[in-house]
A and B are shown apart, each in its own frame.
Chain A
């Protein structure tokens, strides 16, 4: 017999299921739209808790900043000023792409389904 713990993520999952199955069918118009946004936000929160999801970010920052002290803000600033470019880091676009995919997997994984890569 399975013994499931009642974890934060399982609570969120139950809450969203209840919202979708029991509440949303009884709503229409603006209330339904608001409820759909709530369900979406809870799904994002659940995926965020469940994912370690910082590998691409650490890989990117470690590669660009040898001392391991760089942040995304540093990277943004250095790309703007031309210190970090595809000339200095030829795989910069691919690393940025992996960073974005990692974010989107939490925020809206459906967006990635059916894309060319």
Chain B
């Protein structure tokens, strides 16, 4: 059936999974014709399943994905139950996501909790998208689609019952984010005075709070599956939280997420206006350029903090990984992006 190396999901468990699916779907029988491991993710394990359902509401052939935690898993931001609730909330709001189908907290079925979602066609990897020869034509269309989907995400409010597991935000979302990255630096393996300066500036210049909305938290090229000229699925909801929607706009348009296409402010794919015009229309609000500029500087501070954390896996965590050490060295470049952003902001110039 499959030649892949198994980790959490074991071929011996396929019959158990098929039986569980039959019960949950009210089917006479379920056959899993194929199970293929999907690449990507050291923390999660994804399998593509070709499923044949006989009888019940979901009779027919399906392309589904099983998601579970990898065998040697670190604590993730969202467990499978929370991720499932997130997909359900997004799906209910009309956001394009992989369709959430079923989930199990019971480790007895395949050995770990898991969820089943629809398989989505498309390409998410940045290096393919940013080098597309047809990007001049496709980019603005894709950017506008990103905008419409993001606007839908931002309609989700803390009243959404499915998301009661997310902590209720207290105080200013902007200052909360600054505090989060200061906490990272408190236990960092090397001092970063430039990042401290950026965080101090961010705290002193924080925008006024807005009513919290759902923030995806990692809405950027690489996490957005593209099929033709449209966004086919928003991926990777593990950093979703209640906050300021402009945080997502700052992250998507930050210089550090343009994958070498520096002039294409929308994730390296299209000019800024292709995104902003569509977002403002869909969201029914104007995006304040100063707030967006602030959140871009915050994006650089966040990425720099993440680089420091990666380096600390070597410095403090004893992990002998060249990739991790090299990522740790990147902090200086992103801190420089932050300083550029601050300088432009203070001079009243457009955000880089």
Contacts and interface: CB of A to CB of B under 8 A. Distances in A.
**Chief secondary structure at chain A's binding surface:** helix
Interface in B313-352: 322-323, 325-326, 329-330, 332-333, 335-336, 339-340, 342-343
Contact of B332 (A75, A76, A100): A100
Interface stretch (A2-10, A19-27, A79-87): A79-87
Contacts of B323: 37
A108 B330 CA distance: 8
Contacts, number: 70
A53 B190 CA distance: 18
Given A72-B193, A76-B191, A76-B192, A85 B200 contact: yes
Interface residues of B, number: 25
A31 interface: no
Interface in B145-194: 182, 185, 190-194
A104 to B, nearest CB: 5
A92 interface: yes
B333 A108 contact: yes
B193 A41 contact: no
Given A44-B329, A93-B342, A79 B200 contact: yes
B229 interface: no
Nearest to A104: B332
B191 A80 contact: no
A76 B196 CA distance: 6
B6 interface: no
What 7 pairs across the A-B complex have the smallest Cβ distances?
A: A76-B191, A73-B191, A103-B332, A79-B196, A75-B193, A76-B193, A72-B191
Nearest to A73: B191
A82 B342 CA distance: 18
